Amino acid sequence: MRTDWLCVGGKKKVNSILYADIVGFTAISSTYSAQDLVKILNELFARFDRLAEKYQQLRIKILGDCYYCISGAPVERPDHAVLCVHMGLSMVKAIKYVQQKTNSPVDMRVGIHTGAVLAGILGQRQWQFDVYSKDVELANKMESSGKAGRVHLSEKTLSFLNGEFEVEPAYGEKREEALRIAGLKTYFITKVVKPVS
């Protein structure tokens, strides 16, 4: 691993950033014990971590029922956006495990944006690695303004996909003020044209 990328204070890189959230999590959290819920989430996030390894993602953090990762760092890759979309589509499929386990209509909402991030380690005793930037915030807004079972991406991410996916307009900029202010049009993935090799 390139350690120059993991420095206190951080370095700016262009990456694709993925946020994913479990839709319907509140419903299952009220019907399962904390112990059972932790088991279910642990299995799901372990699946996500295996997918992250497969699709060259760096998991940044798990926050409750939210999972976020980036592609393109610490190893730079020209296909970071393509890999992020494949990751998102695979996450939507992986949530079927929780649907079956809980017999609940839970789903995944995935948002992806591409841009510069500042990555670094914070703290003196309990170090914490994280990524920061306006583009990270926009990726979060891509997730929150998306729809269950869909991968929602910005036009910036679309510009890195090289025609490997078919898309349709998602109009996220009409649902989320931050996207409108940033002047971002948004899209949903509808079809994989070129499967990942």
Q: Single out the catalytic residue among 17, 21, 40, 79.
A: 21
Task: Give the tens place of pLDDT for each residue, 55-99.
Answer: 999 999 999 899 999 999 888 999 999 999 999 999 999 998 888
Residue 126 exposure: Cα atoms within 13 Å on the Cβ side = 0
Tokens at 165, concatenated:
């996916």
Instruction: Return mean pLDDT, the chain.
Output: 90
Structural domain of 86:
3-192
Active-site residue, 4 included: no
Whether residue 197 is contained in a domain is answered as no
Active-site residue, 130 included: no
Q: Single out the catalytic residue among 17, 28, 65, 107.
A: 65
CATH number (domain holding residue 96):
3.30.70.1230
pLDDT given for residue 165 in this prediction: 98
- Angle, alpha carbons 177-79-138 (nearest 5°): 15
With a CB cutoff of 8 Å and minimum separation 6, the contacts of 67 are: 19, 20, 21, 45, 48, 59, 61, 91
Q: pTM higher than 0.85 for the full model?
A: yes
Provide the number of structural domains found in the chain.
1
- Are residues 156 and 173 in contact, defined by beta-carbon separation less than 8 angstroms? no
